[in-house]
Structure 1
């Protein structure tokens, strides 16, 4: 059975959670920090060879969990993250309403 492994990674001007299956990168969600209180999800991508496994859903959930842990709000800029926030009432309280 193949299992997806999620890793938090940090670059110079972004942070991301990446999904790996058997050592192969399957997808990512990138986000930036706006001040001390806000995370902005700006990109979600899953390689076409790995689609249909809810990887993008799980990637967005990792950012949501991080925001909850750090007591931050999220701006879901990318279209997929926006859709997730629209469809999941439990995400509403963590969304930055500005």
Structure 2
């Protein structure tokens, strides 16, 4: 099993989500693509993984993917919105 604190954020387009971890230790952020934007709708981190910065690593990876694809970001998920507000380097992604 990969160490989740150093693992790679993966896009799972079949499930419209980004993932970090393996098996039952899987943090996810759900999205949909609409009108040139990646719309983030919900982020989930298993309770036993919380408080370790995993959700922030997950969102950083997801935002990097949106940037690479030339997509704007719509943070409907409150965690994604809070992350963007704390990271000014991501502000240019938000529509």
Q: CA deviation at 1:24?
A: 3.1
Q: How many residues align?
A: 91
Measured on the aligned residues, the alpha-carbon RMSD in Å equals 1.6
| Post-superposition CA distance 1:1-39 (Å, at most 9, x none) | x6113322123xx51111215x4333100110012x100
- Structure having the higher Rg: 1
Which residue in 2 is equivalent to 1:29? 29
1:92 and 1:3 map into 2 onto residues whose CA distance is: 30
Question: Gapped runs of 5+ residues in structure 2?
Answer: none
Name 1:10's counterpart in structure 2.
Answer: 13
Q: CA deviation at 1:62?
A: 1.5
Task: Give the corresponding residue for 2:49.
Answer: 50
* Bigger share in helix: 2
Gaps of 5+ in 1: none
**How many angstroms apart in 2 are the aligned matches of 1:67 and 1:8?**
11
Please give the TM-score of this superposition, normalised by the length of structure 2: 0.85
Q: Alignment partner of 2:51: what SS? A: coil
Secondary structure of the structure 2 residue equivalent to 1:52? coil
- Residue 62 in 1 paired to residue 61 in 2? yes
Q: Is the contact made by 1:28 and 1:45 (CA closer than 8 Å) also made in structure 2?
A: yes
